[in-house]
């Protein structure tokens, strides 16, 4: 099973972090605690700027969840089409070649889900299988690739499309003054990523997915996620995320590799979902890596922020474009997310 192509798409609106911080300070003008804390919290995210699916002034206007979600559907469909088209072009395949679509988001709701709506815009076959995934959050990009490889393992000529669209800016909660919400308002951005996974009987120069593993951490459901109600999506984000990344993830990676007759010393490349700077640093420290080993993750965080499920696929695309390992080398693709859980993939380049 190989990842034959990767594509991404971003909204046309991009703002540097100081501009975004000033706009949010204006929204929270009547709260002295926010005024004193927000600039430092945003600076600590190590994010230079982020893409937004709406013009910045739109976020100051009072809006209902219905309005936010309508914007999500409109923008997600546009970005999803762009990312899918780019990934299929990269794989030298057409929509008609696709046997299944795994679609993931955690920032908007739609039924029919987004991949069904894309099937009315692009010439997919009517027998293309649809697998919408909701709730996995940041881990979903890696998890969707893993589930796609499960699919093509039983279909050697199969072609599976993975699409992740996250419009995190549309979850802005102006009434929530919690530290978690203030941090997320400076960390998360908007974007879409797609990948094409093909079975072993299809030729591709992309990295092979050698093996995958899912890891679930019991009784950690309050570490990360959403509280969803009439207000929309309200973030749950615990300070325990870096702790799990530092103390639990390395042992899980080692166990995964040990069962495959490998060790960390065999791994030459790392494609890691960035989380935030504390999470990424915790991964780096726990796995005994150098800053340069996670350079694409750090650069992605700086340029675009955390795109939830879309980030790890964009980092994979950047790795292929700028730091592609030598043929035959082994790499790890990983992400962590709500559950709390991890998803690990062993790649052979």
The residue out of 198, 231, 251 marking a domain boundary is 198
Does residue 298 lie in a domain region? yes
Residue 80 confidence (pLDDT): 98
> Is the same domain home to 169 and 235?
no
Whether residue 78 lies inside any domain: the answer is: yes
Q: Look at residues 168, 198, 228 and tell me which one is the last residue of a structural domain.
A: 198
Q: Is the domain of 138 the same as that of 17?
A: yes
Q: Are residues 139 and 278 in the same domain?
A: no
Between the two ends of the chain, the Cα-to-Cα distance in Å is 12
> Which domain CATH number covers 287?
3.40.47.10
Q: Is residue 55 part of a domain?
A: yes
In this structure, the strands spanning 224-229 and 232-237 are: antiparallel
Residues 173 and 300 in one domain: no
Q: Is residue 120 part of a domain?
A: yes
pLDDT at 13: 97
Statement to judge: residues 13 and 148 lie in one domain: yes
Res 343: pLDDT: 97
**296 lies in some domain:** yes
pLDDT for residue 16: 97
**In the prediction, which pLDDT does 265 show?**
95
Q: What is the domain extent for residue 43?
A: 2-198
Are residues 97 and 184 both part of a single domain?
A: yes
The verdict on 293 and 336 lying in the same domain is yes
Which neighbouring-strand residues pair with 5? 196
Clarify whether residues 133 and 26 are in a common domain.
Answer: yes
Q: For the chain, what is the domain count?
A: 2
Whether residue 91 is found in the same domain as residue 239: no
Catalytic position from the list 138, 168, 272, 341 = 138
Clarify whether residues 144 and 286 are in a common domain. Answer: no
| CA nearest to 107, candidates 56, 73, 148, 57 | 73
Is position 53 annotated as part of the catalytic site? Answer: no
Q: Which of 178, 198, 218 is the last residue of a domain?
A: 198
Residues 171 and 302 occupy one common structural domain: no
The answer to whether position 147 is within a domain reads yes
In 10 A of CB 159, how many CB atoms? 25
Residue 85 lies in a domain: yes
Asked whether residue 288 is domain-assigned, the answer is yes
pLDDT by 10s per residue, the chain, length 349: 999 999 999 999 999 999 999 999 999 998 898 999 999 999 999 999 999 999 999 999 888 999 999 999 999 999 999 999 999 999 999 999 999 999 999 999 999 999 999 999 999 999 999 999 998 999 999 999 999 999 999 899 999 999 999 999 999 998 888 999 999 999 999 999 999 999 999 989 999 999 999 999 998 888 888 888 888 888 888 888 888 889 899 999 999 999 999 999 999 999 999 999 999 999 999 999 999 999 999 999 999 999 999 999 999 999 999 999 999 999 999 999 998 999 999 999 9
Cβ atoms within 10 Å, residue 267: 20
Residue 11 · residue 190 · CB < 8 Å: yes
Q: Does one domain contain both 118 and 253?
A: no
User: What's residue 212's pLDDT?
Assistant: 97
């Amino acid at each position: 099973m190989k990842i034959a192509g990767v594509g991404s798409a971003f909204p046309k609106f991009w703002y540097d972090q100081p501009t975004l911080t000033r706009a949010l300070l204006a929204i929270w003008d009547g709260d002295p605690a926010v005024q004193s804390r927000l600039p430092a919290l945003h600076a600590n995210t190590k994010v230079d700027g982020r893409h937004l699916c709406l013009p910045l002034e739109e976020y100051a206007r009072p809006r209902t969840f219905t309005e936010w979600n309508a914007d999500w559907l409109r923008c997600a469909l546009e970005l999803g089409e762009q990312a899918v088209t780019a990934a299929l072009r990269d794989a030298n395949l057409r929509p008609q070649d696709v046997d299944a679509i795994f679609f993931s988001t955690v920032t908007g709701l739609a039924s029919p889900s987004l991949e069904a709506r894309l099937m009315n815009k692009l010439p997919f076959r009517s027998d293309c299988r649809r697998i919408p995934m909701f709730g996995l959050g940041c881990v979903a990009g890696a998890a969707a690739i893993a589930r796609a490889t499960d699919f093509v393992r039983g279909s050697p000529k199969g072609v599976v499309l993975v699409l992740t669209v996250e419009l995190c800016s549309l979850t802005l909660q102006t009434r929530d003054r919690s530290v978690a919400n203030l941090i997320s308002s400076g960390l998360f951005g908007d974007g879409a990523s797609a990948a094409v996974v093909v079975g072993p009987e299809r030729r591709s120069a992309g990295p092979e997915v050698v093996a995958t593993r899912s890891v679930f951490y019991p009784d950690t459901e309050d570490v990360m996620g959403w509280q969803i109600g009439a207000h929309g999506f309200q973030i749950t984000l615990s300070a325990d995320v870096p702790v799990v990344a530092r103390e639990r993830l390395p042992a899980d990676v080692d166990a995964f590799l040990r069962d495959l007759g490998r060790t960390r010393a065999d791994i030459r490349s790392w494609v890691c979902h960035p989380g935030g700077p504390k999470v990424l640093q915790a991964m780096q420290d726990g796995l005994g890596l150098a800053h340069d080993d996670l350079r694409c993750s750090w650069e992605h965080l700086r340029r675009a922020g955390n795109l939830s499920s879309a980030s790890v696929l964009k980092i994979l695309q950047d790795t292929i474009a700028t730091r592609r390992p030598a043929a035959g080398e082994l790499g790890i693709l990983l992400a962590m997310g709500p559950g709390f859980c991890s998803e690990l993939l062993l790649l052979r380049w």
